[in-house]
Amino acid sequence: MSTQTPALRLEGIVKTFPGVRALDGVSFSVMPGEVHALMGENGAGKSTLMKVLGGIYQPDEGQIFIAEDATVMSSPLQAKSKGVVFIHQELSLADELSVAENIYLGELPRKSLGRVDWEKLYAQTDDILKTLNVGFNARTKVGDLSIANQQMVEIARALTVEPRAVIFDEPTASLTDAEKVVLFEVIADLQSRDVGVIYISHRMEEIFKITDRISVLRDGQYRGTLNTKETNEEEVTQLMIGRKLDLSRNEMTHSLGPVALEVRNLSCGKLFENVSFTVREGEVVGFYGLVGAGRTEIAETIFGLREPSGGEILLDGEGVTVHSPADAIARGISLVPEDRKGQGLVLGMNCRDNMTLPQVDDMTAGPFVSDGAEIAIFDQYRDKLDIRTPGWRQMVGNLSGGNQQKIVIGKWLSMHPKVLIVDEPTRGIDVGSKSEIHNLIRELAAQGYAVIVISSEMPEVLHVSDRIVAMYAGKVTREFTAAEVTEDGLIQAISGL
Amino acid sequence: MAELTKKSIGGFLAKQGILVAFLVFMVVFAIANPRFIDIDNISGVIRSSAILGVMALGVTFVVIGGNLDLSVGSMMSFSTIVVLDLHDKIGPALAIPGMFAMTLCLGAFIGFLVGYLKLNSLIVTLGMLSAIHGLTLTYSGGQNMDIADKQNTWFDFFGQGSMLGIPVPILIFALLAAGLSLVLSKTPFGRKVYAVGGNGTAATFSGIPRARVVFMTYILSSFCVATAGLIQASRSLGSQNTVGQGLELEVLAAVILGGASLLGGSGTVFKTVIGVLILGFIQNGLLLMGLAFYAQYVVTWVIIILAVWLDIAAKRGRLWSPIA
Amino acid sequence: MANFKRKDLVKQGAIWAFIVAELIFFSIAGEFLSVSEKAFMDFDNMLLLLKQSAPIGIIAVGMTIIMVNGNIDLSVGATFALAAIVLLDSMTWPFMQAMGNWAIPLAWLFALATGVILGAINGLIVWKTGVDAFIVTLGSMLGYRGLVFIYNGEQPTSHLNWTLVDFAEAQFLGLHTATWFLLGVVLLCWLLMTRTVHGRNAYAIGNNREAAVNAGIRVGPHFLWNFMLIGFLAALSAVVFYSESGSVNPNDGMLYELWAITAVVLGGTKLSGGYGSIISTLGGVIAIQLLRKGLGHIGADTETVNLVIGLILIAVLFLDRQLNRKGKEELRT
């Protein structure tokens, strides 16, 4: 293999954004017929690297070689014409158009007078679809397909050219097991045609099943390449996070108060069914499960954002009906939502106004909002949470992810809730801020808050929780105490085993 | 250091660009024709801008809240016709609250559709533009509406009277602008309007009743429209059914010129007032320069495009769009 | 999957079902209420209806393309008026008068060129500045109307050419000239949008702009062409209408943009772009015209037409939303 020319080689790629060095001299190569995994934590620079490869971003430094020819990728179209094809994680399809039109988007075959050559289009598409062995045809409207089939359309797109390298970005995130099998067949087929495949995924079992080599990125830097056969999960993880995976449990104990929140047989349509659990004052309950297991939806229902189809919510032992977030807030429930920018913050507003938003009605002097009271709150939580900002007038859109998250947490702490729900508290946040937020969560519990932490990261759940509720497909599968939980048990519980 | 100064000047221009443009514009016209800054001329311009201005104040709230209101023109026709009709039927003292009540009902209906039913505001208000126009025509039977005895009524006070030497329309405009400016910048309600327009989802997640806030912006807008209708009716004491036709777009032009983003979440009452005044003074300045009255439309067009273009160019950091 | 398809069918059939309902309603109501002796579904009456649909109809077809592409054009009414003025005024120019009837095609050409140029200005601004089409055309709606007034003040511009009037009033195979133009425009634009690369790309751009850009579709030129097309169609609409009437007021065409948008939305075109059909827009245009005539037929004031159409537009929006709801599990935002 080493004597071959790489299908694709990157050398010293640097890409900076204002304030961030997203890629810092990344080099690696993919051989023809090789499946090469690219791994790294969120924010390690994988997406940026792939966008550079796909011609969406231009690198500041470094070069891309295709079959050892130095190449400039100026646009996605140009990348494709050079044989580098990108299968997006977020589907980029026009759902009102047919499968064939999507596959040949931007290069529909023409007849005279600018007419589309439909026969040719459908014939070519059917040829490609045949190799993928899918259950839909060229004329189907993309909007009518399942997510998995839409993904197949994306893959079919890659096959319209003779590809040299195909990049898959988290392709199995929304696929069923049967669909995964088809996908892996497609990848094997590409391999047999001497195409280099770059495979980005978080799922270790897949990586070890189908890849030949694994390259790891951390903090925008290249950290090395391992031969899949000669390594193991632990080594890869260590390379990814720069240290041994910290699977330490929460060992802090303090006396727990009475039950603050109890949920009995709560259901919301098919999103989740018959969910029951309790949270006591001073306790952190972790909710662990895969994306789509229904964890966020439970939080949203408790917070009055969804209407439950059955079951009860009890606060301090008393049954309550929560019709709206305003209702929930009045009853002492706070929710730090999953999507910081979409749900947590008004990015065009300053730090102070964001922080005091839920209680702006109560911050008045006469009919007007009291500047002094607002600034007092902001100052208090800026100091308490160590929020680094030039001042309250700063637009939150200009802060780093960690500081933004602290603004959201500050916003809800300043409401002095009884029950605090935190959904994915450290998503997209740097390592330093992560542990700060973990410590903060433990501190809050020690002060008597009842805290629910929803997370997809096992170390995080293990680290902060007194108890862990595992969910699978809308149902609670098992509950663990911090003392009894094991990694394997947890993984089994969230896989429905 | 030089760079810092340059940066802060750039920042200032980006923030207050519309004010600077306005001042430059005034100075140029004043040099070209000293009569332009004559106090009578200025007062005349503001008075004739008052109707547009009052309507623009309300629409500012709607736009900051992330919606549009294309129905204000035909709603203004409606209020004018109704108040003139009621004037002769039940007398001015009852006609005015009666007209306000009816106009607010229209605003409430729109607010219900856009706020609570979450329908697209562009289409709803487009539909209401047509519907209210039909309502007005049905109400008036398609006839012009006139006050029977124009000599003996105090009703002309709002459009033609003056207090302390200031024409009443200007007074109403100024007071309303000052009041609404306080509401928008200083009250919890104003804060919520910015939040709802800036990021409606985040506002909901913060416990802000988004539907009610949107509803209130339309109530406010219809209140302003009713006030404008009152001034219009009082000024002319008679009216056609189409008196407000086309005003919705001029109003929107003034609001956009003031720098409010159509996406919601930004803009201020003060900037809208500047936008209104710019439109008024352009019209006046061009007339004084001897240009045809309608040349103002063309100039307004150019100014709107330039204002919005430079605004987004500053935000994206390049003049030309990245559209391939 | 069958479910989805049924929904599409409902969407595309709805406007025609609505037209049939209107026909039935006005025919029956007309029996009791009509002031005229003639039945509503009278053949001549229907032919006249098609002819009267033409001016708005031709513009609405262009608006459909613009909206499918993800833009909007508020300046069509002003473009319509300016093209009309150029049409009528140019025939009075001395060199044109010297040409006799050959001036007619030339005048048409001038008018159509006016429309194309005005459209191109809009398109270029949208493309090159990146300002939203709503704002760009809101501005040019004022600007173009200003040009109309500057051209001839508040005076109407008139020029009656009898050859032209004869042409416009002619009937071929029973249909009026204007109807032929409407049907021709509908057919050609339908072919453009369903059969050509340009049309399919326009759908793709409106549907998912980022995907289109990534696939190498050049968005800017598509915008430009489509704005030129709607300018052309607005001018064509003026040519068809004013060939017959021979006199244009500077306020003519006001609110045409709103009528056109109403017809397009009634026809089911998505506001956000990417979905819509020229044929359904024709349905929307006919539905509006039918309502207008029908209300007159049953003796309702013509004024109520505006009221009814406005409310129907809102009702359609409401129904569309109800159809697309996900049910009770939906997030309350």
What angle, rounded to 10 degrees, do the helices at C133-152 and C76-90 form?
30
Q: Cα separation of B89 and B309, whole Å?
A: 50
Confidence (pLDDT) at C4: 47
Q: Which two tokens stand for residue C244?
A: 């017959």
What number is the average pLDDT over the span A408-421? 92
Residue A2 has pLDDT above 50, yes or no: no
CB within 8 Å of A190: residues ≥ 6 apart: A163, A166, A197
Q: Cα separation of B190 and A269, whole Å?
A: 37
Confidence (pLDDT) at C10: 67
Q: What is the pLDDT of residues A252-306, one digit of tens each?
A: 667 788 999 999 999 998 889 999 999 999 999 999 887 778 889 999 999 999 9
Confidence (pLDDT) at C2: 38
Residue B261 domain-assigned (yes or no): yes
Residue of C207, C275, C325 to mutate, testing the A interface (most A Cβ within 10 Å of its Cβ): C207
A275 and A416 together in one domain: yes
**Residue C203 forms contact with A (CB below 8 Å):** yes
Q: Is A387 within 8 Å of A401 (Cβ atoms)?
A: no
A197 and A272 together in one domain: no
Q: What is the pLDDT of residues A189-240, one digit of tens each?
A: 888 888 899 998 877 778 888 899 999 888 788 888 888 888 887 777 777 7
A312 and A375 together in one domain: yes
Q: Do A271 and C208 touch (CB under 8 A)?
A: no
Q: Which two tokens stand for residue C318?
A: 């409401």
Other chains touching A, judged by 3 or more CB pairs under 8 Å: B, C
Residue B4 domain-assigned (yes or no): no
Q: Do A76 and C216 touch (CB under 8 A)?
A: yes
A271 and A214 together in one domain: no
Q: Which residue has the higher pLDDT, A170 or B215?
A: B215
Which chain B residue shows the shortest CA-CA distance from A358? Answer: B206
Residue B5 has pLDDT above 50, yes or no: no
**Residue B63 forms contact with C (CB below 8 Å):** no
B202 to chain A: which residues are within 8 Å by CB? 342-346
Residue A9 has pLDDT above 70, yes or no: yes
Name the maximum alpha-carbon separation found in chain C: 74
Q: Cα separation of A111 and A496, whole Å?
A: 53
Q: What is the pLDDT of residues C153-212, one digit of tens each?
A: 888 888 877 787 888 787 788 788 899 999 999 999 999 999 999 999 999 999 999 889
What number is the average pLDDT over the span A143-164? 83
DSSP C101: G
Residue A153 domain-assigned (yes or no): yes
Confidence of residue B307 (pLDDT cuts 50, 70, 90): confident
Confidence (pLDDT) at A253: 67
C268 to chain A: which residues are within 8 Å by CB? none
Q: Is A395 within 8 Å of A350 (Cβ atoms)?
A: yes
What angle, rounded to 10 degrees, do the helices at B2-32 and B295-316 form?
180
Residue C325 domain-assigned (yes or no): no
Confidence of residue B100 (pLDDT cuts 50, 70, 90): very high
Q: Which two tokens stand for residue A439?
A: 């410590």
Confidence (pLDDT) at A164: 87
Q: Do C131 and B128 touch (CB under 8 A)?
A: no
| Of the partner residues B142, B245, B252, the one whose CB lies closest to the CB of residue C303 | B142
Domain that residue C118 falls in: 51-316
Confidence of residue C125 (pLDDT cuts 50, 70, 90): very high
**Is the alpha carbon torsion for C80, C83, C87, C90 positive or negative?**
positive
3-state DSSP assignment of residue C11: helix
Q: What is the pLDDT of residues C323-333, one digit of tens each?
A: 766 555 667 76
- CA A457 to chain C, closest CA, distance in angstroms equals 25
Residue B59 domain-assigned (yes or no): yes
In the numeric block, the tokens 């029977």 are attached to B148
Residue B324 domain-assigned (yes or no): no
Considering A172, A206, A241, which residue would you say is the last residue of a domain? A241
Q: Cα separation of C258 and C255, whole Å?
A: 5
Domain that residue A366 falls in: 259-494
Q: Which residue has the higher pLDDT, A378 or A175?
A: A378
- CA A398 to chain C, closest CA, distance in angstroms equals 24
Q: Which two tokens stand for residue B260?
A: 């409010």
Lowest-confidence range among A478-492, B53-67, B202-216, C73-87? A478-492
Q: What is the pLDDT of residues A115-130, one digit of tens each?
A: 999 999 999 999 888 8
Q: What is the pLDDT of residues C36-70, one digit of tens each?
A: 666 777 788 888 888 999 999 999 999 999 999 99
> Residue B287: which of B277, B274, B304, B299 has the closest Cα?
B299
Q: Cα separation of A192 and C207, whole Å?
A: 36
Other chains touching C, judged by 3 or more CB pairs under 8 Å: A, B
Confidence (pLDDT) at C35: 65
Residue A83 domain-assigned (yes or no): yes
**Residue B8 forms contact with C (CB below 8 Å):** no
Pairing of strands A259-268, A310-315: antiparallel
3-state DSSP assignment of residue C330: coil
What number is the average pLDDT over the span B73-83? 95
Q: Cα separation of A471 and A469, whole Å?
A: 7
**Residue A305 forms contact with C (CB below 8 Å):** yes
Q: Which domain CATH number covers A328?
A: 3.40.50.300
**Residue A95 forms contact with C (CB below 8 Å):** yes
Q: What is the pLDDT of residues A13-37, one digit of tens each?
A: 898 876 567 788 888 889 998 999 9
Q: Which domain CATH number covers C79?
A: 1.10.3470
| Of the partner residues A56, A95, A114, the one whose CB lies closest to the CB of residue C198 | A114
Residue A421 domain-assigned (yes or no): yes
Residue B6 has pLDDT above 50, yes or no: no
Residue A436 domain-assigned (yes or no): yes
Confidence (pLDDT) at A172: 76
What number is the average pLDDT over the span A76-83? 81
B201 to chain A: which residues are within 8 Å by CB? 342-343
A335 and A222 together in one domain: no
3-state DSSP assignment of residue C172: strand
Q: What is the pLDDT of residues B112-163, one digit of tens each?
A: 999 999 998 988 998 899 899 999 998 988 888 888 888 888 888 998 888 8
A236 and A275 together in one domain: no
> Residue B32: which of B293, B276, B296, B286 has the closest Cα?
B286
Domain that residue B92 falls in: 21-314
State if pTM tops 0.80. yes
Q: Which residue has the higher pLDDT, A190 or A133?
A: A190
Q: Which two tokens stand for residue A284?
A: 């952190």
Q: Is C159 within 8 Å of C246 (Cβ atoms)?
A: yes
| Of the partner residues B138, B249, B256, the one whose CB lies closest to the CB of residue C304 | B138
Q: Do B204 and A305 touch (CB under 8 A)?
A: yes
Q: What is the pLDDT of residues B236-283, one digit of tens each?
A: 888 888 888 878 888 988 998 888 888 888 899 999 999 999 888 888
A274 and A319 together in one domain: yes
Residue B97 has pLDDT above 90, yes or no: yes
The C-alpha R_g of chain A, in whole angstroms, comes to: 25
Residue C20 has pLDDT above 50, yes or no: yes
- CA C270 to chain A, closest CA, distance in angstroms equals 11
Other chains touching B, judged by 3 or more CB pairs under 8 Å: A, C
Residue A90 domain-assigned (yes or no): yes
Q: Cα separation of C233 and C186, whole Å?
A: 11
Residue B204 domain-assigned (yes or no): yes
Q: Which residue has the higher pLDDT, B324 or C153?
A: C153
Which chain C residue shows the shortest CA-CA distance from B248? Answer: C138
Residue A461 domain-assigned (yes or no): yes
What number is the average pLDDT over the span C124-135? 91
Residue A89 domain-assigned (yes or no): yes
Residue C17 burial (10 A CB sphere; 0-12, 13-18, 19+): exposed
The total of structural domains in chain C comes to: 1
**Residue B291 forms contact with C (CB below 8 Å):** no
What number is the average pLDDT over the span A453-479? 88
Which chain A residue shows the shortest CA-CA distance from B199? Answer: A346
Residue A81 domain-assigned (yes or no): yes
B211 to chain A: which residues are within 8 Å by CB? none
Q: Which domain CATH number covers B134?
A: 1.10.3470
Taking phi first (over 0 means left), then psi (-120 to 50 degrees means alpha), and beta for anything else, what does residue A111 get? beta
Residue C228 domain-assigned (yes or no): yes
What number is the average pLDDT over the span B5-34? 69
What number is the average pLDDT over the span C122-137? 92
Confidence (pLDDT) at C70: 92
| Of the partner residues B182, B206, B265, the one whose CB lies closest to the CB of residue A357 | B206
Residue B2 has pLDDT above 70, yes or no: no
Confidence (pLDDT) at C144: 94
Confidence (pLDDT) at A264: 93
Considering A195, A210, A241, which residue would you say is the last residue of a domain? A241
Residue B293 domain-assigned (yes or no): yes
Residue C189 domain-assigned (yes or no): yes
| Of the partner residues C307, C317, C333, the one whose CB lies closest to the CB of residue B124 | C317
Q: Cα separation of B258 and B265, whole Å?
A: 14
HEC assignment per residue over chain B: CHHHHHHHHHHHHHHHHHHHHHHHHHHHHHHHCHHHHCHHHHHHHHHHHHHHHHHHHHHHHHHHCCCCCCCHHHHHHHHHHHHHHHHHHHCHHHHHHHHHHHHHHHHHHHHHHHHHCCCCHHHHHHHHHHHHHHHHHHHHCCCCEECCCCCCCHHHHHHHCEECCEEHHHHHHHHHHHHHHHHHHHCHHHHHHHHHHHCHHHHHHCCCCHHHHHHHHHHHHHHHHHHHHHHHHHHHCEECCCCCCCHHHHHHHHHHHCCCCCCCCCCCHHHHHHHHHHHHHHHHHHHHCCCCCCHHHHHHHHHHHHHHHHHHHHHHCCCCCCCC
HEC assignment per residue over chain A: CCCCCCCEEEEEEEEEECCEEEEEEEEEEECCCCEEEEECCCCCCHHHHHHHHCCCCCCCEEEEEECCEEECCCCHHHHHHCCEEEECCCCCCCCCCEHHHHHCCCCCCECHHHEECHHHHHHHHHHHHHHHCCCCCCCCEHHHCCHHHHHHHHHHHHCCCCCCEEEEECCCCCCCHHHHHHHHHHHHHHHHCCCEEEEECCCHHHHHHHCCEEEEEECCEEEEEEEHHHCCHHHHHHHHHCCCCCCCCCCCCCCCCCEEEEEEEEEECCCEEEEEEEEECCCEEEEECCCCCCHHHHHHHHCCCCCCCEEEEEECCEEECCCCHHHHHHCCEEEECCCHHHHHCCCCCEHHHHHHHHHHHHCEECCEECHHHHHHHHHHHHHHHCCCCCCCCCEHHHCCHHHHHHHHHHHHHCCCCCEEEEECCCCCCCHHHHHHHHHHHHHHHHCCCEEEEEECCHHHHHHHCCEEEEEECCEEEEEEECCCCCHHHHHHHHCCC
Q: Do C196 and A324 touch (CB under 8 A)?
A: no
| Of the partner residues A56, A141, A269, the one whose CB lies closest to the CB of residue C329 | A269
Residue C323 domain-assigned (yes or no): no
Lowest-confidence range among C12-16, C216-220, C276-280? C12-16
What number is the average pLDDT over the span C292-298? 82
Lowest-confidence range among A66-80, B47-61, C73-87? A66-80
Q: Which two tokens stand for residue C260?
A: 């056109």
Confidence (pLDDT) at C3: 41
Q: What is the pLDDT of residues B171-202, one digit of tens each?
A: 999 999 999 999 999 999 999 999 999 999 99
Q: Cα separation of A166 and A179, whole Å?
A: 19
| Of the partner residues B182, B201, B207, the one whose CB lies closest to the CB of residue A343 | B201
A214 and A335 together in one domain: no
Mean pLDDT value across chain A: 85
Residue B33 domain-assigned (yes or no): yes
Residue C43 domain-assigned (yes or no): no
Residue C185 domain-assigned (yes or no): yes
Q: Do C329 and A114 touch (CB under 8 A)?
A: no
Q: Find residue A217's DSSP bridge partners.
A: A222
Q: Is B287 within 8 Å of B95 (Cβ atoms)?
A: no
Q: Which residue has the higher pLDDT, C177 or A2?
A: C177
Residue of A349, A364, A424 to mutate, testing the B interface (most B Cβ within 10 Å of its Cβ): A349
The total of structural domains in chain A comes to: 2
A132 and A211 together in one domain: yes
A346 and A228 together in one domain: no
The C-alpha R_g of chain C, in whole angstroms, comes to: 21
| Of the partner residues B182, B187, B265, the one whose CB lies closest to the CB of residue A348 | B265
Cα distances (Å, whole numbers) of residue B281 to B41, B47, B286, B299:
10, 11, 8, 11
For chains A and B, count residue pairs whose Cβ atoms are closer than 8 Å.
Answer: 71
Residue B308 domain-assigned (yes or no): yes
| Of the partner residues B187, B192, B266, the one whose CB lies closest to the CB of residue A368 | B187
Written as one letter, the residue type at B190 is G
Residue of B181, B199, B205, B268 to mutate, testing the A interface (most A Cβ within 10 Å of its Cβ): B205
A328 and A377 together in one domain: yes
Q: Cα separation of A286 and A316, whole Å?
A: 20
Altogether, the residues listed in chain A come to a count of: 497
Chain C residues 158-197 within an 8 A CB cutoff of chain A:
195-197
A28 and A55 together in one domain: yes
Which chain A residue shows the shortest CA-CA distance from B181? Answer: A368
Considering A211, A241, A271, which residue would you say is the last residue of a domain? A241
